[in-house]
Structure 1
Amino acid sequence: MKKKKLGIVLASVLAAGTLLSACSSKDSSATSEKGGKDAPYEIKWYTIGTPQKDTDKVFAEVNKYTKKKINATVKMTQIDWGDWDQKSQVMINSGESFDLIFTNGTSYVQNAQKGAFLALDDMLNNEGKALKDVINPVLLEGNKVNGKLYGIPSNKEVAKQDVYTFNKRLVDKYHFDLSKVKTLQDLEPMLKTIKENEPNITPMATFKAPLRFDYVFNNEMPAAFPFEGETDKVINPFDTDAAMQQFKTMRKYYKAGYLKEDAATSKDSWPMDVENWFVRMGGYQPYADLLWSRSAKYEVVSVPAEQPTIVNDSVSGSIQAISATSKNPKKVMEFLTLLNTDPYLRNLVDKGIEGTQYKKNSDGTIEDLPARIDGYNMPSYSLGNHFILYLYKDDPKDKWDKFKEFNASAVKAPSLGFKFNSDPVRSELAAITNISKEFYPALATGSVDPEEYLPKFNKKLKEAGLDKVLKEIQKQYDEWKSSQK
């Protein structure tokens, strides 16, 4: 599944001042102000995704069940993809009272460090014991901030693996041998053929040149650990031969017309169901091609662009955190435990009501009904434990076993578990973020000549204080590494 990629608006998080100072001291043993943990309680939950018209109907059923099970009801509010970063951060910064919120990546770390989220370790050993027993330990360890866990990650694939995904109809039509595709450069003969013979197809759906590093923030920011060589030394990945080589290849492709002219600035998400592209990049999970083909309504096929690796970004892509403003965090943990361990509730929240949004077949598999597609189409990745979701009729029977094999096959990145505290270099990072936004998209899509603009990019980064940032990251990393021994 290639979820809509969540861009982390680092600058807005960095710019936010000290927040929720009054809330940061809130003890995770807090209970309802109106009568203790056993009193009825409404859980206020904010999560990501396009608001659905049938949410109230589905959650009427959810609340019948949770009221009976844990004496709580849930008010879920979705915030649309494009609005999420800004609106969720404003809500957190304002100290609004709520219970549960979706978070991920740098936003999760920064907000945990600022006291916006509660540490969950004690509750995970008590109210969340059944949840702790089913979730992959790598997810829990990889999401600790200063030794504590501040959110419950979705139990799914823990590894990151980018793949090249192709329109299979065109692969078959021109008899392309995908087994030969290992690198960005290997795409060239196919791109040329498509450009010359398919006038209605864009050879490359907009994507950025792949650079394989263990990034501290994200792949647009100039701080990362190498996977080979000195893996414990943080560097600027854009000041490497690999970056120049990849950007030069993308420049060649751009000049040949394999990408759209506005590739650097385009907001086009290249929806799968529009058959106007030949190759794109995406994040893989087992049997992803089946999921993408179902979404596209035509076949796609993928080959690896890298080996699967467990990085901070891959374990923190989907987390539910309990707000420091919650009046009954133990009850919220009870809900999270139920959501992640009870197949009925997990599928109800994810798929809707059986017989309305989906139908169940005699073999236990499911099929979507029109009411789900039109009125309750939720982003599964964001909601919790995948391993108790019902399989679709055309899903392989061993789907979840393959997920476990995929997780087991991945290697751990050098900095897995390291969480950088940006406070000492906040102003430098804000400036660097702006410079990266100015240069990176143009370089990574080949829209400008890297031999001219990559040196300018790196010069500006240095002038903005990159060396100071890298020195601070190295200092904190070395301290963290020593504490792991």
Structure 2
Amino acid sequence: MKTLKSVFSKTIILSMATALILSACGKTESPKPSTSTDVKATATTETAKPVTLKFVTMGPGKQADSQEVWDEFNKKLATLLPNTKVEFEAVLSTEFANKWKLMAATSEPIDIAWTGYLLDYPGEVNKGSYVELDALVDKYAPEIKKEVPAWVLDRARVNGKLYAIPGYQQAVDSRPTMRVPKEFIDKGYIDPKVAQDTFYKYGPVSKESFAVIEGYLEKLKANNQLRKGFSPNVLWSMYNHNFITTLPNYILTGDYKDPKSLKVVNQFETDKEQLFIKTMTDWYAKGYIRKDILSLQNQRQDEGKPDGNIAWFHSMIGSIEDQSKAESTRWGFPVQVIPMEEKYVISALSDATNLAISRTSKNPERAMQLLNLLNTAKGKDLYNLLVWGIEGKHYKKISDNKIETIGYQGSGTADAKYGAFKYALGNTANSFETQADPTNFTQIWKDTNAGAVVSPLLGFKPNLDPIKTDLAQVQAVVKEYAGAPSALILESGAVPDSDAKYKEFMDKMKKAGSDKVTAELQKQVDEFLKTKK
């Protein structure tokens, strides 16, 4: 997410883990801004003593060649940051939340740690887990402010103060797109230009857009080519932006240019939600959605298969042509991507991936200097070594900035010899592009970020303590009736008498405290917007 809830998926979407307390050390004093000469002199003094930093990373975990790469990292680091070594602890993404809980409980000395979508980042900040960074950045990492846009840093601010360095990357929400086998376009079952124009005008979830999709489904059924039918999953999770919190889906609606019009609403109470449920129920009855969808462990199991779904949804980045080509290559048959929204959005849920300095760090100054290297061009080679490993062994060089990874594509896997998550280790603008990326991918996402609609809530971090119990109760109801983005219940269309079930769903949500949650979030949004004037 998240950014993407893509890259999501990522894009989007996102599940918050239980936040934990790290014992607090004394606050870092806020020095006056230094001149570049002062910074250089101070940095030289600070690096005079030998220091070993503990760095807890999130990703595929420790791999076969991890230690070899880390040894090379320390050799290279010695030339850039003398008298500094790093001891890495690589934690599997699926285990990170629990591991962080144990580290917090024992007040384990840690210098740098990943934080983001697997944790409650604002909650961690409020509990004192991380060092405030504004003064440290000014003194030891001024280059970060030159190379990472201010709005990116603002994403990691809580109550106006910086507590982590976000991974600079594609920052937009998932832009929903419909995928269809190109053979059905060639047969005239759907006109991608008409579909795209309709989606852009009326939005992904609207009577008009659903009418276009249903016309396509009717033709497929008439020609006995429905295969595994329509897959509703990802569309449901992507058609809203500006989620206030993921527990559950409270969103901001209104005109971004008119703060007075901005209202917090529960996504499940909207007209769009009711339209979605009614339409999917109708399509299920007509046979457009497979009858056993509720019994599937993975409701998306038939997406991208030659004999699978005849329409499915995901995000896109770059041009329609590039994304269609990438999808066709990925699935092994011609696929056409049809975008459903014209504009990208940079929304309020923006603390997906960051590097923080732990409150238990004994060397926050040196840790900040290392973060400076991982987030600026000065440390580009160091960063790429940590992400991609050793040339010739873990990747092949194709050109100056293009590589071909060995043993995996995209992000490294637990069974790869080596390969980390680039977004979890620093500034991805300095990353190599791989065979899994579109041509000029870095420039594409930079341009996409620059042209996106920016949420007025960028940097907003709600305090969930006053509604913690209510959120838990509401989330339990959501799980019972809505399921999850990858395991839909009501939105699957397969629930008998969905109108009655929806009413029951809303009644239980109200009793669980959904209105209290909405009111509290609206209050906090209004207070935040006053600070933006």
TM-score with structure 2 setting the length? 0.78
User: Counterpart in 2 of 1:445?
Assistant: 492
What is the DSSP-based 3-state SS (H/G/I as helix, E as strand, rest coil) of the residue aligned with 1:124?
helix
Residue 165 (structure 2) pairs with residue 129 (structure 1): no
1:369 maps to 2:398: no
SS at match of 2:480: helix
Q: Choose which of 318, 325, 328 in structure 1 pairs with 2:353.
A: 318
Pick from 384, 396, 421 the counterpart of residue 359 of structure 1.
396
- The structure 2 residue matched to 1:187, chosen from 213, 216, 233, is 213
The letter for the 2-side match of 1:261 is D
Aligned ranges 1:392-411 → 2 under 5 Å: 392=434, 398-411=440-453
- Comparing 475-484 with 202-211, greater Cα deviation is found at 202-211
The 1:204/1:177 distance shift into structure 2, 3 A limit, reads same
| Cα distance per residue 1:304-326 (max 9 Å; x no partner) | 3333111122x322222222122
What's the CA shift for 1:454?
A: 2.3
Give the secondary structure class of the aligned counterpart of 2:213.
helix
Distance 2:390 2:438 in 1: 23
Q: Select which of 155, 159, 170 maps to 1:146.
A: 159
On the 8 A contact 1:250/1:446 being kept in 2, the answer is yes
Match of 2:240 in 1: 212
The residue type paired with residue 65 of structure 1 is K
* 1:202 to partner: Cα distance: 5.1
Cα distance in structure 1, aligned partners of 2:296 and 2:158: 34
Indicate the percent of aligned positions where both proteins have the same amino acid.
Answer: 26
TM-score normalised by structure 1 residue count: 0.85
For these two proteins, the number of residue pairs brought into alignment is 475
Distance 2:48 2:293 in 1: 55
Residue 430 of structure 1: how far off its partner (Å) = 1.7
Cα 1:481/1:39, change in 2 over 3 Å: same
Q: CA deviation at 1:148?
A: 0.8
Contact 2:111–2:361 under 8 Å retained in 1: yes
- Closer, same or farther: CA 426–273 of 1 in aligned 2, 3 Å: same
Matched position secondary structure for 2:88: strand
Do 2:53 and 2:111's aligned partners in 1 also have CA atoms closer than 8 Å?
no
Larger-gyration structure (1/2):
2
Contact 2:291 2:494 in 1 (8 A): no
Q: Which residue of 2 aligns with 1:73?
A: 85
User: Is 1:238 aligned to residue 268 of structure 2?
Assistant: yes
Amino acid of the structure 1 residue aligned with 2:311: V
Paired residue secondary structure (1:204): coil
User: Residue 343 of structure 1 is aligned with which of 372, 380, 401?
Assistant: 380
Hey, what does 1:224 align to over in structure 2? 251
Q: 1:74 to 1:4 in 2, by over 3 A?
A: farther
Code of the residue aligned with 2:402 in structure 1: it is T
Question: Using a 3 Å threshold, how does the CA distance of structure 1 residues 438 and 388 change in structure 2: closer, same or farther?
Answer: same
* CA deviation string 1:181-222 (max 9, x = no partner): 31351333334555664576453274352442422102x625
Can you list the C-alpha shifts for 1:50-104, whole angstroms capped at 9, x where unaligned?
5433222222211211133213333333333433344434433553332222222
- Secondary structure of the structure 2 residue equivalent to 1:76: strand
From 115, 125, 143, the counterpart of 2:128: 115
Which among 43, 57, 62 is matched to residue 73 of structure 2?
A: 62
Whether the 8 Å contact between 2:293 and 2:492 is mirrored in structure 1 is: no
Per the TM alignment, residue 476 of structure 1 is displaced from its structure 2 partner at its CA by 1.9
Residues of 1 paired with 2:28 and 2:123: CA distance?
A: 19
Structure 2: state its 5+ residue gaps. Answer: 1-5, 32-45, 484-488
> Who is 1:23 aligned against?
24
Unmatched tracts of structure 1, length 5 or more: none
Whether the aligned pair in 1 keeps the contact of 2:55 and 2:87 (CA below 8 Å) is: yes
Q: Deviations over 1:388-423 (max 9, x none)?
A: 222346866543332222112211224222211111
Q: Name the amino acid aligned to 1:454.
A: Y
Judge which range, 285-294 or 420-429, deviates more. 285-294
CA RMSD of aligned residues (A): 3.4
- The 1:112/1:8 distance shift into structure 2, 3 A limit, reads farther
**Corresponding residue number in structure 2 for 1:100:** 112
Partner SS for 2:368? helix
- Determine the structure 1 residue equivalent to 2:40: none
Kept in 2: contact 1:165–1:300 (CA 8 A)? no
- Indicate conservation of the 8 Å contact 2:241/2:345, yes or no: no
